[in-house]
Amino acid sequence: MPKSSLFFRNARQVLTLSGRGFPRRGRDLAELGIVRAGGVLTRGEKILRVGPSHTLEREALRLKAREIDCRGQVLMPGFVDCHTHLVFAGNRVQDFEARVQGKSYLEIARVGGGIQYTASLTRQASEPELVAQAEALLRQFSAHGTTALEVKSGYGLDVRTELKILRVIRRLGRRSRLDLAPTLLAAHALPPGFKRRRSAYIARVVRELIPQAAGQNLAQFVDCYLDRDAFTVAECRAVLAAGRRHGLTPRVHAEQLSRTGGIQLAVELGAASADHLDFANAADIRRLAGSNVVAVLLPGSNFFLGSSQLPPARRLIDAGAAVALATDFNPGTSPVLNMQFVLSLATTQLRMTPAEAVCATTLNAAHALRRADQVGSLEPGKLADLILMDVCDYREIPYFFASNHCAMTVKRGRVIHSRKSP
Ligand code: NIG
Ligand code: FE
């Protein structure tokens, strides 16, 4: 079958983010590689050419490409959401209301709310139920411009349910047009009954769960929640090192609610990312800047928890760390799937510039998932994952906050969402 082509023409700005094959650091983070009066030509699943619209016309004609007039809007790479907890049952509106009334996240977790509550619902849910809930959410992700995302397990907390969640992620990946990167996050919270035998749970994760998940090819990454009320450095090291032995790349929830050494561990193990970083100190910032670990900031969780302690985005960027942004989509601390709102939070709360925030949600996020050879920028040979934003200038995306500017989402060269019929 001949490969079909799309010709996007007449975009006021095409944000290409083209360039070197490394994550962007320092000043390079704001280099968007903007082409004015630009266009993109796709062929099959991939991008064939990017440039001023008029330079692509002849080839578009030759390929009989279907033409899409961008009418002066902004064309950019689809968002890569490199940190989500997409698969869970139910929600946590009761925790939300209790927090609004003054209880803290940890207080609620200690009396049976929090992760344990979601885990108990998720254990009871069937695979089709979990697929259905997550699939509806995935449609919303794509309608807001996300074209690839990481998805963690972590609401099972036993071998059977963690594997069930990973199978759900695999099924979602096969049914959805979006690309999903699966992560095993069994060390998310200590399951009930293990308080006095913590090492028994870790041993089960290391000896049973990781070999099975890796053996069935159900995960690409292994993650852990290193914090005062979660797991220790030694426990996380054991889990991540076991994952690595089985071919899973580590990533770490680090310094979210307290400073406990997650960044140091991430650097020691050559993790793909260290995420949250609210309590990172000067030494941590230096460590990250001197490493290839991507610093993933999650301002949705800061916003939702009303935290006064924000991740040191400016200091990380200025020190030369590779910074990315993600939603942290989850029922407890960040029920947001709109990456455009993450851009607004990153600019207004973390003082990142709009350009830095765009790069952190596309190219650098792709690096955090080790998929920058395929996604994150508009360059010939990469996947044709792009979004058309109903704005005249990319800075309007974070500026007009809390709305959806995404007029069209294209995944692997196919229109998967369009406000008007395509
Ligand atoms: O990334 N930090 C731990 N995990 C999630 C919260 C999960 C939950 O509360 O359900 C996070 O913020
Ligand atoms: Fe998280």
pLDDT of residue 420: 75
Query: Is pLDDT at 13 greater than 80 in this prediction?
Result: yes
Per-domain residue ranges of the chain: 5-77+376-418, 80-368
pLDDT tens track for 290-319: 999 999 999 999 999 999 999 999 999 999
Q: Do domains 5-77+376-418 and 80-368 have the same CATH topology?
A: no
CB of 256 closer than 6 angstroms to any ligand 1 atom:
yes
pLDDT tens track for 236-280: 999 999 999 999 999 999 999 999 999 999 999 999 999 999 999
How much distance in Å is there from the Cα of 15 to the middle of ligand 1?
Answer: 32
- CB 334 within 8 Å of CB 83: no
CB of 16 closer than 6 angstroms to any ligand 1 atom:
no
Query: Is pLDDT at 158 greater than 70 in this prediction?
Result: yes
| Sheet (strand 249-254) strand order | 79-81, 146-152, 179-187, 221-225, 249-254, 273-276, 294-297, 323-325
pLDDT of residue 19: 84
Topology of domain 5-77+376-418, per CATH? Urease, subunit C; domain 1 (2.30.40)
- Whether this prediction's pTM lies above 0.85 is answered by yes
Residues 6+ apart with CB under 8 A from 131: 168, 171, 172, 175
Ligand approaching nearest to the C-alpha of 81: 2
Q: Which CATH class is domain 80-368?
A: alpha beta
State which of 81, 83, 85 you would mutate to test the pocket of ligand 1, scoring each by most atoms of that ligand within 8 A of its C-beta.
Answer: 85
Query: Is pLDDT at 421 greater than 90 in this prediction?
Result: no
**Helix, strand, coil % (nearest 5) of the chain?**
40, 25, 40
Mean pLDDT of the chain: 97
Q: Region 394-398: what's the mean pLDDT?
A: 98
Q: Region 139-145: what's the mean pLDDT?
A: 98
pLDDT tens track for 39-65: 999 999 999 999 999 999 999 999 999
pLDDT of residue 422: 46
Residue nearest to atom 12 of ligand 1 (CA): 333
pLDDT tens track for 164-212: 999 999 999 999 999 999 999 999 999 999 999 999 999 999 999 999 9
pLDDT of residue 1: 67
